[in-house]
Amino acid sequence: MKRIYVLIVVCTLAASINAETKDNISNHRSEIRIGWGDQLFESLVWHNPAYIVRTMPDTYYQVYNENYSYDQHLWIEYQWRFTSWFAFGGMVDVSDVRWDEVTRNGQGIVTQTSKGHFFYNIVFAPTMRFTYFFHPNVNLYSALGGGIGVNGGSEMNIKGQKTDIGAAVNITLLGMSVNAGRWFCSVDIGGLYSLKDMNTIFLASSRMINVGMGIRF
């Protein structure tokens, strides 16, 4: 959360510099931004075990997935602004989750640890943005994107595959950009979804909050 607070403060301080207007939007129609998004969905679904067996004989063994780490969502997006209220472009989003396979005996004591287990998701999606409040310093908008999601990693699925592909949808319910001339910062609230079918879900309500910085040219 500290990253979000720092970014908002920096953007607010910068907003007074060379504010953009509707009249000069044609001078900088291209827009590129990079950003970070949360992995709340992943941390709720994949996490350390809630219970570890400690009341069985030493000869009993069980493997647990533990020591999860979440690298969060990193993304880059390009937009071409046709007008002050409509832009079209594309986005690439990358995220992953890592963990260890830990073998414990019946007393809960670790006997072996296997590292290097992970999965990743990469989303490629054309995006549309609709700006419904345009101000020289602050814009409010919503956005929608749809494309493909690639899921892979160290583990095989039930079909013996390490890589799988499904549909992906990115929704921005509310976005805000704080402008400082050609430069801007943004905060988006929405969700990133990716699935192959109802039994194979890669992402659901992931990246609910994301922040970014960009430049128009």
Task: Express each pLDDT in 158-213 by its tens digit.
Answer: 677 789 999 999 999 999 999 988 899 999 999 999 999 888 889 998 999 999 99
Task: Express each pLDDT in 111-152 by its tens digit.
Answer: 999 999 999 999 999 999 999 999 889 999 999 999 999 999
47 vs 99: CA distance, rounded Å = 9
Task: Express each pLDDT in 29-42 by its tens digit.
Answer: 999 999 999 998 89
158 vs 28: CA distance, rounded Å = 49
Q: Strand, helix or coil at 83?
A: coil
For each of the domains in the chain, give its residue range(s) and CATH number, in order of start: 2-47+68-98+116-216 (2.40.160.20)
41 vs 30: CA distance, rounded Å = 32
Mean of pLDDT values over 18-34: 76
22 CB-near residues (< 8 Å, 6+ apart): 84, 134
